[in-house]
Structure formats: structure tokens, C-alpha cells
Amino acid sequence: MKSQPSYRTQVVQDTIIIEFYEISKFLQDELGPELDRELGQPDLANCKHILVDCQHLKYANSLFLEILLNMAAQADQRQGRFALCCLSLFLSEVFEVTRLQGRWPTFDSREAALREIQAA
Amino acid sequence: MATLLVVDDSKIDLKRASLLLTKHIPEAEILCAAQGEEALELIELHAPDVVITDLQMPIMNGLELVERIRQKYPQIPVILMTAAGSEEIATAALKKGAACYVPKRELAVDLAPIVARLLGAARERIHHLRILNSISEVSFELQNDRELLVDFVYELREFLQHRGIFAEHDCFRVAMAIDEALANAYYHGNLEVSSKLREQDCFSFERLASQRREEQPYAHRKIFLKISLGEELTVTIRDQGPGFDLKMLPDPFDPGFVERPCGRGVVLMRSFMDSIVFNEFGNQVTMVKKINGTEIVSKP
């Protein structure tokens, strides 16, 4: 089963921005391995930081949280920072319930997140 | 009786479109507005079935009107009337959610059939919703197919939102609890793939799940789901796996829980539903959510 295209990556200086689309049907069982492979591609492998932009993400589930934990581990391995931006109210609640709130820095906008990450 | 709203700042074009609709759809009531704000007021008052609007208008153009209607009245389809040379902005309006556009030079031929088609679709949607709203108890026998399950959760969330028994935020919560329970039934129940594999790497888990989808006895197992809607929403999900020991569920208050790559599904289910009860084998879960603050009766 192939997951729907549900994200796009972009590089700004040494930060990989992963922007998830609206995923009302969160069919992302293969998304973890797919992202893992993509982050290892030559154009992304040398970036230190990872920023996940959730602006268009209304719904997610525990598999999505696992993906975030994997990506955060990747940022650690690169000695970089991992951050999130533009979380919806529902996603914030999911983080709170699973005690992941405060685990990573979160920002209201992508610009604010990039400023903070790249200043560090 | 169907209600149509025509919006155009040109009195001549407004009259022309209205007359065309009156002639071809005589059973419809036609409302007219000369600009966007007036159109929004009429929508609020009359809830028309279809809005037909000019694209280029002063103060609020058709593009902005489409956006405002999509935000507040997503069920009302909007047809754009476009003058020559405005195809680019019409494409932008389609992206914003307009149903379609009709060039003004083609109005006489195309407008009425398009409106009639949209009215037909709206009627079907209303009938469909009336049937869905009559459901008090329904059972499903689902193939162990992840795509089917994901589609099911999406449709169920839409149904709950249409039915209006929960606020939108609660529809998301209920959908997530069911999503997590179905994922458990699919992976851990029917395919018997352990979460421990996720702790090794993200590939091993999916690899084994993928392999077992083709193997017996896993391949033909099903998931049984029953929904009851009364004073509370009750969802029972049962898989055909051997079950699991409830004592093996991770403790969310364990200091190591936050760093674990898995084990959050049941925590989310417990948080977003008012009660969840597993059967003695661990292959069936019953989840209850109160509707409109009704008191919950504890179940064994």
C-alpha cells in the first residue's frame, strides 16, 4: 500500500522544513520509512536542523507522533535542532495528552521558528 | 422550493441571469444582490441552495465572496459568471472552492443546466443525510485492509459532524479514538505484529505487517465494529487475533514513556472517550462518549 503524497520538503540554509498537507485521512503507515529515506538523500543529508510545519495539518494520530520522534532523533544525530510550528488546537491537545507538550520548541509561524533555529 | 441567489453589480447582467433561471427553473425562488456584502446578508437570511456570482465587482469581488461563502457555508455551491479575459482569476476561484464557472457569453446555453445539476446533487445530499441521521445502531464487518480502515474513520468523522451530536473538536477526538482502536485491531490484533518492533526501527514493523497481510492465518481475519447512538455513542471493535495481556500496556506516568516511539494509542483512546473497556482476552474494546453531557453508565 502506497501512502498518499502528504508532505513536501524544502531546505532553508541548513534547516530542512517538512510541511505536511491537510491529511484528513491519515494514511501514513509507510510515511515513517519514506521520510527516513528522504532525509538521507544527498541534498538533505547535510542539513543540521529539522522544522515540521503543521499549518495545513488538521488531523493526525499516534503514528504521526512516532514519525516526529524519529525525526527528532535524526536531528539529534546531526547535532541539530528539531522544532514544530503552526500547531492546530487539536494537535496541541494530542501533544498534551501524550505528554509530548514541551518536548520540542513550538512556534506560531514558520518565520519565527527559522529565526530561532538558525540563531542558535 | 429551491432558492437561488444571483450576485452582479451590473443591473443588466443581473436581470439577464435571473430571467434565464426563472425561465428554465420556474420552481426556484430567485434572490438578487448587487454586491458581496448584500449577498452574504441574503445567504444568512435565506440559505440559498446555489449562489451564482459575477467575478469582477467593486468592494468585494467574486473571489473574495467565494472564500467567505466557503468558510461560513461550505455546503452552498458557488457558480462564477466570468467575462472574457478573466479565466486566470476564475481558476483561482476554483482553487478557493467555487463549484464551476460559466463565461457570460455562454450563459443562455450553460447556466440553467449547471444550476439544475447542482440542485439535484444538493437534493441527493439532503436525502443521504436524512438516512444517515436515522441510524441508531449499525454493524460493520471490515476486511483487515488499512486503507479501508482509514477511509472508514474519515467517513465516520464526516457523519458525526453532519449529525451534529458533537462539536467539531469532539468529532476529531472520537475519530482519533476509533482510528487508534482500529490500528490496534489491524496491527496488533489481526496481524499480531508487536509494538516492540517499532522500538528497533521504523522498517521492521512495516516489513512484518506487509508480509503477514499475505500469510495465513492473518490474511483473512476481519474486524467487527458496532456503533450505537442513543444518549451516548458506543463503539465496539473486535478483531480475530488472540488478544493481549492488558497488564502489558505501557504506563503513561512512567518517566520513560515520553521517549518511547510507540504505545500512545490507548492513552489517546482513554483521553478522548469517556470510558474504554477491554474484554478479558484483549481482542475487543468498547468505547463510550457522552452526548450533550448525558451521564455515563459504567459498564463491566
Question: CA distances (Å), B229 to each of B217, B235, B290, in order?
Answer: 34, 9, 10
- Taking the C-alpha atoms of B267, B271, B272 and B273 in order, what is their torsion angle to the nearest 10 degrees? 100
Residue B44 has pLDDT above 60, yes or no: yes
- Per-residue pLDDT, averaged over B293-298, amounts to 43
Return the CA Rg of chain B. Answer: 26
State whether B264 and A29 contact (CB < 8 Å): no
| A interface residues, B as partner, C-beta within 8 Å | 1, 24-27, 29-30, 32-33, 36, 58-59, 61-63, 65-66, 69-70, 89-90, 93-94, 97-100, 103
Cα–Cα distance for residue pair B2/B15, rounded to 1 Å: 19
- Per-residue pLDDT, averaged over B137-159, amounts to 91
Domain check: are B118 and B77 in the same one? yes
CB A116 within 8 Å of CB A107: yes
Cα–Cα distance for residue pair B77/B36, rounded to 1 Å: 15
pLDDT at residue number B261: 67
pLDDT at residue number B292: 67
Split at pLDDT 50, 70, 90, the class of B223 is very high
Domain check: are B109 and B147 in the same one? no
Non-local (6+) Cβ contacts of A63 within 8 A are A26, A28, A29, A31, A32, B183
Residue B296 has pLDDT above 60, yes or no: no
State whether A27 and B258 contact (CB < 8 Å): no
The H-or-E segment that residue B211 falls in is: helix B202-212
Mutate to test the interface with A, among B150, B161, B257, B276 (most CBs of A within 10 A): B150
Residue B69 lies in a domain: yes
**pLDDT block averages, 10 residues each, chain A of length 120:** 64 91 59 81 88 88 86 91 92 89 91 88
Residue B296 lies in a domain: no
- Per-residue pLDDT, averaged over B191-201, amounts to 81
Domain check: are B117 and B47 in the same one? yes
- What interface predicted TM-score (ipTM) does this complex get? 0.82
| Total Cβ atoms within 10 A of residue A86 | 20
Record the cell numbers describing residue B129, joined without a space.
443525510
pLDDT at residue number A27: 54
Cα–Cα distance for residue pair B154/B249, rounded to 1 Å: 27
CB B275 within 8 Å of CB B174: no
Domains identified in chain B, total number: 2
| Total Cβ atoms within 10 A of residue B257 | 15
Name all domains of chain A by residue range, CATH numbers in brackets: 7-119 (3.30.750.24)
Domain check: are B128 and B232 in the same one? no
pLDDT at residue number A102: 85
Q: What phi, psi does B118 have (nearest 5°)? A: -65, -35
Q: Which residues of A touch B176 (CB under 8 A)?
A: 59, 61, 94
State whether B261 and A69 contact (CB < 8 Å): yes
State whether B146 and A27 contact (CB < 8 Å): yes
Give the CATH number for residue B279.
3.30.565.10
Domain check: are B158 and B109 in the same one? no
Last residue of a domain, one of B104, B132, B160: B132
Nearest-CA distance A98 → chain B (Å): 6
pLDDT at residue number A26: 52
Non-local (6+) Cβ contacts of B179 within 8 A are A26, A61, B150, B153
Residue B299 has pLDDT above 50, yes or no: no
- Per-residue pLDDT, averaged over B265-269, amounts to 90
Cβ density class A18-28: b for 16+ within 10 Å, e for less: bbbeebebbbb
Domain check: are B27 and B167 in the same one? no
Residue B46 lies in a domain: yes
Give the CATH number for residue B46.
3.40.50.2300
Domain check: are B196 and B256 in the same one? yes
The residue among B33 and B126 whose pLDDT is bigger is B33
Half-sphere exposure of A63 (CA within 13 A, CB side): 26
Domain that holds residue B140: 135-290
Residue B234 lies in a domain: yes
Chain A residue closest in CA terms to B177: A61
Nearest-CA distance A61 → chain B (Å): 6
Residue B297 lies in a domain: no
Nearest-CA distance B100 → chain A (Å): 23
Residue B299 lies in a domain: no
Domain check: are B197 and B56 in the same one? no
Cα–Cα distance for residue pair A60/B157, rounded to 1 Å: 13
CB B117 within 8 Å of CB B100: no
CB A14 within 8 Å of CB A28: no
Residue B294 has pLDDT above 50, yes or no: no
pLDDT at residue number B186: 95
Domain check: are B122 and B182 in the same one? no
Split at pLDDT 50, 70, 90, the class of B168 is confident
Last residue of a domain, one of B116, B132, B148: B132
Last residue of a domain, one of B82, B115, B132: B132
Split at pLDDT 50, 70, 90, the class of B293 is low
- Per-residue pLDDT, averaged over B78-86, amounts to 83
The residue among B109 and B300 whose pLDDT is bigger is B109
Residue B240 lies in a domain: yes
- Per-residue pLDDT, averaged over B226-235, amounts to 94
Residue B37 lies in a domain: yes
Domain check: are B166 and B262 in the same one? yes
Strand intervals (E) in A1-120:
7-12, 15-20, 49-53, 82-85, 106-107
Whose cell is 515520553? That residue is B258
The residue among B263 and A45 whose pLDDT is bigger is A45
State whether B264 and A65 contact (CB < 8 Å): yes
Domain check: are B61 and B125 in the same one? yes
Among B183, B209, B268, the residue with its CB nearest the CB of A94 is B268
Domain check: are B38 and B167 in the same one? no
The residue among A57 and B186 whose pLDDT is bigger is B186
Residue B156 has pLDDT above 80, yes or no: yes
The H-or-E segment that residue B223 falls in is: strand B222-229
pLDDT at residue number B202: 65
